[in-house]
Homo-oligomer: A and B are copies of this chain.
């Protein structure tokens, strides 16, 4: 009796959406997940404001969401690399994932009501993964870009 890949992905999405307290506080929802790309969404709300005069998103929300998106795609990618060969390694892989470093470029003030973060893997090794992320508002405007390195094994 074993878990299918679809069930595994669903379990991970559920964990990210429901069981990571700070993700819930921000309101992050995992929208799409594949080996190469992850899409997250969240809505503006009063608690996420960083500049009350302009009503824009706090830069910490931006960096939080980019890191969550990058970490999730790095994790899915690492899991998919062992899923076929040795599913027993999945749990171990998941527990080892951690952000090593991240760069965020804040391109525009964070105006908007609905935000979408996308992350893709640009380097996938046995030990480390590098991802690139972007945050856009509902107008499609790029609010921020990121690059991050994750330990994956």
Question: Which residues of A approach B to under 8 Å, CB–CB?
Answer: 19-26, 46-53, 58-61, 63-65, 67-68, 71, 95, 98-107, 109, 122-123, 125, 127-128, 130, 132, 142, 145, 147, 149, 151, 153
Q: Which secondary structure dominates where chain A touches chain B? A: mixed
- Given A68-B60, A101-B130, the answer on whether A122 and B107 have CB atoms closer than 8 Å is yes
CA distance A101 to B151 in the complex (A): 13
* B105 near A100: Cβ-Cβ < 8 Å: yes
Chain B residues whose CB sits within 8 angstroms of the CB of A106 once the complex forms: 98-102
* A58 near B128: Cβ-Cβ < 8 Å: no
CA distance A151 to B150 in the complex (A): 12
